[in-house]
Structure 1
Amino acid sequence: MSEAFHIISDGSCDLPMELTKEKDITVVPFYVSFEEGKYQKEMIEIGVREFYQEMVDHPDVYPKSSMPSVQDYVDAFLPFVKAGIPIICICITTKFSGSMQSALNAKAILEEEYPNAQIYVCDSTVNTVLQGIYVLEAVRLRDAGKSYQESIDRLNEIKSSGRIFFTVGNMEYLKHGGRIGKVASVAGSLLGIKPIITLKEGEIFPSGIGRSRRKTVDKNI
């Protein structure tokens, strides 16, 4: 191992396994379950497309997720710590998950045994595709020969500029996840309203409404 630093992300980055292998990124997966007590590692035991297809095929079953454990992060960090390679670990927004806290706990555990370990744990303030882009920016910085600290500074500089605009086919998952109330969900479904939602700085905000998915998307182009 001769790299300047190694990049680790939790599974929220949604990058294909082929790409993470090509770019030398370690992914610490989340766990998902469609059955009580039966959890599978995302992208390892169940693929992203397979996961979403399950949601389409069984719309009345709401999947559960579980964040990576402290031990999962210890296992991911340890080979690089032992090799003396600095780590940048990029996690999903803390507003959505405790994944970053697991990573911080793992960092603290390893630093007790390896006081010279260099582990920087970063709140991406986003998730999914935008987190993946953020991770790939870390890769670009590494491969361009930027130093560990230069890369950390640049990632912190740009992360507040990230935005995701999206809409949903219906409001059931928003209601089930506690993002909107039951009355708003029923009213929205009856009126055919498609909410425009923005994710920025780690939080979800309403950005407007549309009467169809196409019109809703057009509003943000």
Structure 2
Amino acid sequence: MSRIIITTESGADLPLEMAEKHAVQVVPMHVIMDGKDYLDGSLPVEDIYEYHERTKKIPSTTATNVHEYEQFFKEIKANYPGCVIIHIGYTSKASSSFQNAMIATEELNDIYLIDALNVTGGLAAIVMFAVDLLEKEPMIEPKYLVEKIEFIVPKSRLAFVPGSLEFLKAGGRVSNLAYLGGALLKIKPRIELIDGKLVSTKKYRGNMGSVSEKLMHDYLNQYDINKKYIYLLYSIGLDESIKVRMTNIAKEYGFENIKWMQAGAMISTHAGPGGFGIAGLEK
């Protein structure tokens, strides 16, 4: 029976300890700042915030390219001869990364590619579903594991609110008028992945503490999330008291495992400091 290797991208924000514990291989995406190309994971998030503070600009981000994918998959094949790779990728609707992976694997064998149609915690939730299933059924046939992962993809739900509209404005994601109105009224948009695309589905008013709590209750009342795992997401700058409160709410709803995940450089470039999100799999 061939060994199955699960792979994903740095845009999943899978904590290093979780990736290492479960032998998930992660390929880095890119952050470009001050004309220099950084691999996601090599650039401290604080440097991004300092850059924005200094220039009022945000770095740009780019996908893992075809050559990098080729090298990534070939290295895994060399380290684990005869293995089967199941790659769970960043949504193809927001990045060319998945398309690049498809091109890179045209002449490689025993590699399955799954478009997660999700990012950060929503992508991580799918990856960890695959990991759990593989650990429970280590002899599972790759095609059956792929079928089960593909079935769960549309059940992954991610919602988050940015800590500030500054980064959305700097990245051209909101108009100046919308930014000024939102800033004055302390309005924060709720962002979700709908069919793989980032969509603003609701607006909240208030400070980050009250907004985070509203998001948490709305999300958990809207979606029937599997109680085994819930993933709580934050970008550096979120107040610790908010994290404590969100953890307690998750416990009140009966979640067995509450996993906090920090947004890396790739995601933080778009979300900015002090953001909060939640992800899980519907039953």
Question: TM-score per shorter chain, which class?
Answer: 0.7 to 0.9
2:47 paired residue number: 54
Deviation (angstroms), 1:26: 1.1
Tell me how large the CA RMSD over aligned residues is: 1.9
Contact 2:3/2:82 (8 A) holds in 1: no
- Structure 2 counterpart of 1:66, from 62, 69, 74: 62
Name which of structure 1's ranges 169-178 and 185-194 shifts more when overlaid on structure 2.
169-178
* Match among 144, 154, 163 for residue 148 of structure 2: 154
Aligned residue for 1:208, secondary structure, equals strand
For 1:94, what is the secondary structure of its paired residue?
Answer: coil
SS, match of residue 209 in structure 2: helix
Q: Does 1:199 align with 2:193?
A: yes
Q: Distance in 2 between matches of 1:149 and 1:201?
A: 24
Partner of 2:7: 8
Partner of residue 20, structure 1: 19
Cα deviation, residue 3, structure 1 = 5.5
Matched position secondary structure for 1:157: helix
2:123 corresponds to which residue? Answer: 131
TM-score normalised over the length of structure 2 = 0.68
Shift of residue 70, structure 1, vs aligned partner: 0.8
**8 Å CA contact retained: 2:125, 2:156:** no
Question: For residues 187 and 66 of structure 1, what CA distance do their matches in structure 2 show?
Answer: 30
Instruction: Give the whole-Å Cα distance in 2 for the aligned partners of 1:56 and 1:150.
Output: 43
In the alignment, the residues of structure 2 paired with residue 90 and residue 35 of structure 1 have an alpha-carbon distance, to the nearest angstrom, of 31
Whole-Å Cα distance in 2 between the matches of residues 182 and 87 of structure 1?
45
What SS class does the counterpart of residue 105 from structure 2 fall into? helix
Query: Aligned pair 1:120/2:120, yes or no?
Result: no
**Aligned residue for 1:167?**
161
Which amino acid is 1:41 matched to? L
Match of 1:114 in 2: none
8 Å Cα contact 1:162/1:201 also seen in 2: no
CA deviation profile, 1:122-162 (whole Å, cap 9, x unmatched): 11111112211211111112222232111111111111111
Identify the range of structure 1 (138-147 vs 5-14) with the bigger mean alpha-carbon deviation.
138-147
Partner of 1:76: 72
Q: 8 Å contact 1:10–1:29 — kept in the other structure? A: yes
Greater relative contact order, per chain length (Cα 8 Å cut-off, separation 6+)? 2
The equivalent residue for 1:141 is 133
Match of 1:177 in 2: 171
SS of residue matched to 1:97: coil
Are the structure 2 counterparts of residues 80 and 210 from structure 1 closer, same or farther at C-alpha, using a change threshold of 3 Å? closer
The AA in structure 1 aligned to 2:198 is I
Letter in structure 1 aligned against 2:181: A
Contact 1:171 1:189 in 2 (8 A): yes
User: Are 1:32 and 1:64, in contact at CA under 8 Å, matched by a contact in 2?
Assistant: yes
Aligned mates of 2:195, 2:156 — CA distance in 1? 7
Unaligned runs of 5+ in 1: 112-116
Q: TM-score, normalised by structure 1?
A: 0.86
Matched residue type, 1:94: S
* Runs of 4+ with >3 A deviation: 79-82
| Cα deviation, residue 182, structure 1 | 2.2
